[in-house]
């Protein structure tokens, strides 16, 4: 019988790393997007409450509700399509009073828990793996038609991380990769026109520097303008004069690079990769196969999320609207990440060095 609440040994370096990223987010956002405050402090406080709350629950107890998490994720995504607010042609947010939540962001950690349990509680044969792929296809489809390409990509990446950890037969991994590749043409038809334009413009943004390629070009200019030490908080030309669109969300890394310079940007990445390194330690000391699978999925999700965000800020990848974990503005993404990291602390054995 599992325990709902059990003693926990806090991993101090891990928590300190999270704290550094949150503090950096507050400082940078206050500089480049002061209009977010003081209201945005609510998300930071709520994120801390969520983090502490999930620390009180044993990982085994959390996985007990895996099927409810899957059903709840599907319901949330369906509700979004029915009553969600439409912004720039996308229906991703559910209004709750003065707040709005992006259901797809909250679905990601819940789906990680579900698939971690689903792929480890029984031996994975061909039938069970095909079932898992169908179970994955439904939420991914609902996310794509919102449309939210970035979240859909991260959802698939999380599943792959879970699968790599929990499936011993390489045959199933090859089948899964093949199915995903075959589905790519279908994904293209589900994308909104502006998302297709982003991908097509990626190869040569200079063909339309004032239109489709504007965001990418301005982001690259912003990253380079900070040089080694940066222009200083509140002194960035690209960010403060709004030449850089979405400077507090999609292009937060470019904003950091301009105002804090190469040193600040590299420091930020070092902290993120330190957290990823700690997650690999947690994987080696996981409570159970399901815990290891969850940690693997979370690790790969955060790694790819960081890679995509930095890549699109430097003009190396198409713009997909993927936030930088714990740093970009976005209440739903912040809260979901804090929840995922808190669960990660409970997924490890309490003897982690």
Other CB atoms closer than 10 Å to residue 38's CB: what's the count?
8
pLDDT for the residue 317: 81
pLDDT for the residue 198: 62
- C-beta of residue 324 within 8 angstroms of C-beta of residue 257: no
**186 pLDDT above the threshold of 70:** no
Residue range 314-334: average pLDDT?
87
Looking from the CA of 221 toward its CB, the CA atoms found within 13 Å total 18
- pLDDT tens profile 263-322: 999 999 999 999 999 999 999 999 999 999 999 999 999 999 999 999 989 888 877 778
Sign (positive/negative) of CA torsion 145, 149, 151, 155?
Answer: positive
90-96 β-sheet, strand order: 85-87, 90-96, 99-102
Which alpha helices (H) appear in the chain, and where do they start and end?
12-32, 41-55, 59-63, 66-83, 103-118, 126-144, 149-166, 170-190, 193-202, 214-225, 237-240, 252-284, 289-313, 331-347
Q: Most confidently modeled of 95-109, 184-198, 239-253, 277-291?
A: 277-291
Looking at per-residue pLDDT, the higher value among 65 and 4 belongs to 65
Residue range 214-235: average pLDDT?
83
Q: What is the mean pLDDT of the chain?
A: 85
Give me the long-range contacts of 184-192 (CB less than 8 A, separation at least 24). Answer: 187/144, 187/152, 190/141, 190/144, 190/145, 190/147, 191/144, 191/147, 191/149, 192/89, 192/90, 192/147
**Burial of 106 by CB count in 10 Å (0-12 exposed, 13-18 middle, 19+ buried)?**
buried
pLDDT for the residue 352: 42
Residue range 5-31: average pLDDT?
89
Both tokens of 245, joined, read 């669109």
- Return d(Cα 177, Cα 187) in angstroms, integer: 15
pLDDT for the residue 213: 64
Reported pTM = 0.88
pLDDT for the residue 239: 84
3-state secondary structure of 38: coil
Q: Most confidently modeled of 3-7, 244-248, 333-337?
A: 333-337
- pLDDT tens profile 22-77: 999 999 999 999 988 888 899 999 999 999 999 999 999 999 999 999 999 999 99
Q: Which letter does DSSP use for residue 286 in this model? A: B
User: Which band of pLDDT confidence, cut at 50, 70 and 90, is reported for residue 353?
Assistant: very low
pLDDT for the residue 341: 97
pLDDT for the residue 173: 63
Other CB atoms closer than 10 Å to residue 210's CB: what's the count?
7
pLDDT for the residue 86: 66
- pLDDT tens profile 148-161: 888 999 999 999 99
pLDDT for the residue 147: 78
pLDDT for the residue 46: 94
Residue range 231-243: average pLDDT?
83
- pLDDT tens profile 85-117: 766 666 777 877 777 788 899 999 999 999 999
pLDDT for the residue 351: 54
Q: What are the Cα distances from residue 340, in Å, to 24, 52, 279, 325, 337?
A: 20, 12, 11, 11, 5
pLDDT for the residue 318: 79
**205 pLDDT above the threshold of 60:** no
């Amino acid at each position: 019988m599992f325990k709902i609440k059990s003693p926990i040994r806090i991993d101090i370096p891990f928590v300190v790393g999270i704290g550094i990223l949150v503090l950096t987010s507050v400082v940078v956002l206050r500089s480049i997007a002061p209009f977010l405050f003081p209201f945005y402090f609510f998300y930071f406080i709520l994120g801390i409450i969520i983090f502490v709350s999930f620390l009180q629950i044993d990982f085994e107890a959390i996985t007990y509700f895996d099927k409810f998490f899957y059903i709840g994720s599907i319901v949330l995504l369906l509700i979004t399509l029915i009553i969600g607010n439409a912004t720039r042609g996308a229906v991703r947010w559910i209004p709750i009073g003065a707040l709005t939540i992006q259901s797809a962001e909250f679905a990601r950690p819940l789906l990680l828990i579900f698939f971690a349990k689903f792929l480890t509680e029984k031996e994975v044969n061909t039938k069970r793996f095909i079932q898992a792929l169908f179970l994955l296809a439904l939420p991914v489809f609902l996310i794509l038609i919102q449309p939210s390409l970035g979240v859909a990509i991260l959802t698939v990446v999380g599943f792959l991380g879970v699968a790599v950890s929990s499936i011993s037969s390489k045959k199933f991994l090859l089948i899964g990769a093949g199915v995903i590749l075959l589905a790519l043409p279908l994904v293209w038809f589900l994308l909104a026109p502006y998302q297709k334009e982003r991908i097509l413009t990626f190869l040569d943004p200079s063909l339309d520097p004032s239109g489709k390629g504007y965001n990418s070009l301005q982001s690259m200019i912003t990253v380079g303008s900070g040089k080694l030490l940066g222009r200083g908080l509140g002194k960035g030309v690209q960010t403060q004069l709004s030449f850089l669109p979405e400077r507090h969300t999609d292009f937060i890394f470019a904003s950091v690079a301009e105002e804090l310079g190469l040193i600040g940007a590299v420091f930020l990445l070092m902290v993120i990769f330190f957290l990823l390194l700690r997650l690999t330690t947690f994987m080696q000391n996981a409570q159970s196969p399901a815990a290891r699978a969850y940690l693997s999925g979370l690790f790969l999700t955060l790694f790819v999320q960081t890679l995509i965000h930095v890549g699109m800020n430097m003009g190396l990848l198409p713009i997909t609207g993927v936030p930088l974990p714990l740093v970009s503005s976005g209440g739903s993404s912040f809260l979901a990440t804090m929840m995922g990291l808190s669960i990660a602390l409970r997924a490890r054995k309490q003897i982690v060095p």
